Amino acid sequence: MGIRYLHTMVRVKDLEKSMAFFSLLGLKQTRRSDYEKGRFSLVFMAPEGQEDCPVELTYNWDGDDGLPSDSRHFGHLAYRVPNIYEMCQTLMDNGVTINRPPRDGHMAFVRSPDNISIELLQEGDALPPQEPWASMENTGHW
């Protein structure tokens, strides 16, 4: 299967200060999305010429009491996959728990043996919902 690295997500307590820090490292904002309903912002920053390898800064508007503890900063690694159902089946067949099943045919979360959260995203449009994924419950957290 051909997977492709997408981004690494980190939670930030102060979005402006974090953006300023990453700017000092030479990263520039490549994309920003503000989600009023979820009350959070996602800011993607990458070095010039490496826009396909960004860091995603996730900022919760109402704060995050878990920050600045080290365990709350790192969020997940994300990979685009050609067929999310096939990937999840392969992982499950090899003993990996699907923490957030791809019920929507678009997104799933699993954890590495070291408890690192991995987001899997369907390449292109979401696949039509199918079983067993469509009715599978979440397991644990991601």
Out of 119, 123, 131, 137, which one is annotated catalytic?
A: 119
Q: Of 114, 119, 117, 111, which Cα lies nearest the Cα of 92?
A: 111
Rounded to whole angstroms, how far apart are CA atoms 98 and 141?
Answer: 10
Q: Is 16 a catalytic residue?
A: no
Q: How many residues does the chain have?
A: 142
Cα–Cα distances in angstroms (integers) from residue 22 to residues 45, 59, 98, in the given order:
8, 14, 33
Cα–Cα distances (Å) from 125 to 13, 17, 81, 107, in that order, read: 33, 35, 12, 11
Cα separation of 51 and 118, whole Å? 20
Give me the active site residues, please: 119
